[in-house]
Every structure is written in structure tokens, then in C-alpha cells.
Amino acid sequence: MGVLEELVYHVIRQDFVIKFFALVGLRIISRKLKPQPDAPNPLNLKMNKEITQLTERHVAATYGRYPIALIKGKGMHVWDASGNKYLDFVAGVAVDSLGHCPPRVVQAIRKQAGQLLHVSNWFHIEPQARLAAEITRLSFGNKVFFCNSGTEANEGAIKLARRFYVDQGQKNKTEIITTYKAFHGRTLGAMSATPQEKIQKGFGPLVPSFKYVPFDDIAAMKKAITAKTCAVMVEPIQGESGVNIPDKKYLKELRKLCTKRNVLLILDEIQTGFGRTGHLFAYQGFGAKPDIMTLAKGLGAGVPIGALVMTNRVAKSLGPGTHGSTFGGNPLVCAAALASVDIVGQKDFLKNVRDTGKYFLSRLKELSRKFSIIKEVRGMGLILAIDIDGSSAAVAKDCMEQGILVNSIQPGTLRFIPPLIVSQKNIDTLIRVLTKSLARLS
């Protein structure tokens, strides 16, 4: 080997050795920095401050926010701007039904985004038509109207119920009965259907012709219905009020009552729809088909979409010009929802939700036997709650500091609405953290 060749050889060899050890060093460092699964880091809020300060300066203060900015999600976990990892039992308030950034949904969004983002509903939209066909195949409904959120879907249901009886020549049949502790949304009509002072206060006058009765009380409903009643509107399970589950016969009896009294039954399945209870729709578990059903949250698995599902009988009252939405049912969100529905609609998937929900409920009941401050445990599928004799907000904050996100939905009530892919291992991790938090509270 000549001098020149030997020099080149040593240079290349030295460069290779440097690069090799640099790569090994980076991998060692990255492994040390990478959080272990379900092992939360000590909470570091330093890097979150810039985002939280921007929010406080420029975003309307309509939410009481935790002091963290979530910037990344995968499966059951999210990360904040400081790199802290959290196990998520909130799921964007029951929206991220398949976890964060589910691959098939992300793939569908990417494909559709490169093909067609938005066109007017003056034209036929393929993903919208296919999604409507899937929803009607899987439910009682024959027709679907798409919008952008749950409150919009409920506004549509209110309009449809009143218009239906006008078209029947019964113009005085405009009254809608809802239940105390219900939550149907924050737009004016949906808010008027939500008999909670904290929601309605300061926004009067409300939309007239709403009447309220206690939830899970058939006798009260029978008494309230009059010749002016056009619809009864209820949630199969009251989610925002703390997971209030009615008697198994309640919805069946409500269905019979509405049929007998010529009143439409509207089921608000914004939170319970698309697998949350272990059935694709909660009404299927209770055995009571509605005339109108509203959907949102889990339908899009993370993208904003709402839907109004109805029978042919009532759908006739939604002709051209009676209702509409510029963005409702656009190609992008419908492509995402199609991917979501294809997964959640599988029998094995729903069975797993039911089985995991039973395990979750049993672990919460086990916890209640250890702590007398737990007053009640309830749940169906993967919508569950516990009532505690103490501050649920304090428990939620403590859990966050230990790397678990839970929801303090009412004073003294913790709600658990995780992604439907939650595992028993994830639940066990939550129980360990809750045990520590409740011990401190006790």
C-alpha cells in the first residue's frame, strides 16, 4: 500500500469510528431521556409557560385550563411542551375513541387531503355519501344530515322535530321535553334544552317551549306530555352530569310512551355513540330505537364532525333550504370518520370494549372497598365515574402531576372516558395512581 493510499485508509477509518461512536452515544442518551411506558416523569412546567401565556393573552377565557400544553399524542399517551408523558383517560372528552393519531385514520386524512379538502354541499361528495350509507347500515336510521359538532346536531334535531309537526298540519305542537341535569350543548337552542343554571344564566331570553322533568322518571314524563308536545329529548346516559345511568327499562318505556302519545323520541348520543358503552350506539343496549339520533365526538376519532340520523318518516321534513351547513360533511372529515367507523363497528372491537369496561368497573369497586371517601361507583362500557367525599379537582390535579389525565366533571365526581383501545395494564396503572391520590386526600 502506497503512502497516499494508506493516508486515505486511515482518514476513512477514523471518520467511520467517530461516526460509529457518535451514533452509539446518541442512542444511549435517547434511551435515558425516553420515558418508560406508564412511568410518568416528574412534572416540569417550564417549557409550557410560553404557550400558556400566549393562550391567556389571545384566547377567550371560556375554559378553566390545566397549566400544561399538549403537543403530541400516540395511542393512549400524550406529551406536553416540556416533554412530560401522560396516560390519557379523558380522550379529548370522549372524542379520541381510537386513541391519539390512530394510523388508519391518519392515513385516510393524508390521502384525502391530497385529493380534495372541501367542496360545497351543492355537489355530491363521495366520502359523505359512503359515510351516510355506513351509519344507516349500522343503525335504525335511513337518512343522515352532517354538521360540525354535537350542539349543531342537537340544534338540527330541535328544528326537525318542530318542522315535522308543522308539515303534519299541527302548528301548535312545538313543545320539547328534556330532563334535569341534561347537557345538550351551548348554542341557544341546545342551551335552552339544557336545564342547568350554570349553562343558562345570563343568556336569556331562552328559546321558548321547553319543559323539564327529572331523568329516569317515566311517571313525570307521562304527566308532562301534552297535546303541544312534539318531542322528548334525552341522553341514554347523562355524561356531563356525572355518568347518570337510568334503569334498564327507562328508554324502552319512553319509546312506548312517545309512540302512544304521538311524540318523537330524540336520543342525544353525542357522548355515548360509537362504541362508548360497548354497543355501537347506546340505544341498542337499552333496546329502544329513537326517531332521531344525534352524534358527534367519537364519530370522527379526533376530527370535528356531527350527524343527525333520522327515519324516512321524519326526514321528509328536511327538504332543500330547510337546513344546511357550509362545512358539514366535507370530504376530509368524512374520510376520517369512515376509517373510524370501519374499526369501531367490528363485533370483536365492541366485545373488547365491554370486557375492558367490566374490568375497569371491577377495579373501581375494589378501590371503593379500600377508601370510605368513595361514595359511589358506576359505569357502562368505557364511560365510568366515581363520587368522592372530597375535592375531585384536587384528585385530578394530583393524578396529572403523577402522569395520568382524568376528568373532574362535577364537584366530587371523577369521570373516566378513555380511548376505547385502553388496556387492562393502563387501567391498573390508573388504579395505582388513584390509590396514592385518594390516600393523600383521606
* Helix axis angle, 392-401 to 424-441, nearest 10°: 120
Instruction: Spot the catalytic one: 268, 291, 387, 398.
Output: 268
- How far is residue 277's CA from residue 97's CA, in Å, rounded to a whole number? 12
Rg (CA), the chain: 25
Q: CA 206 to CA 195: how far, in whole Å?
A: 11
Backbone angles phi, psi at 180, to 5 degrees: -60, 145
Q: Which three cell numbers stand for residue 97?
A: 375513541
Q: How many residues does the chain have?
A: 442
DSSP symbols for 28-70? HHHHHHSPPTT-PPPP--GGGHHHHHHHHHHS---S---S--E
State the CB neighbour count (10 A cutoff) for residue 229.
23
- Residue 240 · residue 218 · CB < 8 Å: no
Cell numbers linked to 74: 400516540
User: How far apart, in whole angstroms, are the C-alpha atoms of residue 261 and residue 257?
Assistant: 6
The count of C-alpha atoms lying within 13 angstroms of the C-alpha of 82, restricted to the half-sphere facing its C-beta, is: 18
Task: Name residues whose C-beta falls within 8 Å of residue 286's C-beta, 6 or more positions apart in sequence.
Answer: 236, 248, 250, 251, 252
Q: Is 355 annotated in the active site? A: no
Q: Give the single-character DSSP code of 316.
A: T
216 labelled catalytic:
no
Question: Which residue of the set 89, 145, 164, 183 is catalytic?
Answer: 183
Tell whether the torsion through CA atoms of 344, 348, 349 and 352 is positive or negative: positive
Q: Minimal CA–CA distance to 66: which of 390, 405, 386?
A: 405
**Catalytic annotation on 111?**
no
Q: Residue 406 has which C-alpha cell? A: 382524568
* Amino acid symbol at 13: R
Q: State the catalytic residue, choosing from 85, 173, 181, 297.
A: 297
Measure Cα distances from 309 to 158, 269, 277, 409 in Å.
13, 10, 19, 28
Residues 6+ apart with CB under 8 A from 147: 153, 156, 305, 306, 307, 308, 325, 328, 329
Sign of CA dihedral 296, 297, 298, 299: positive
Q: Which residues are catalytic?
A: 183, 268, 297
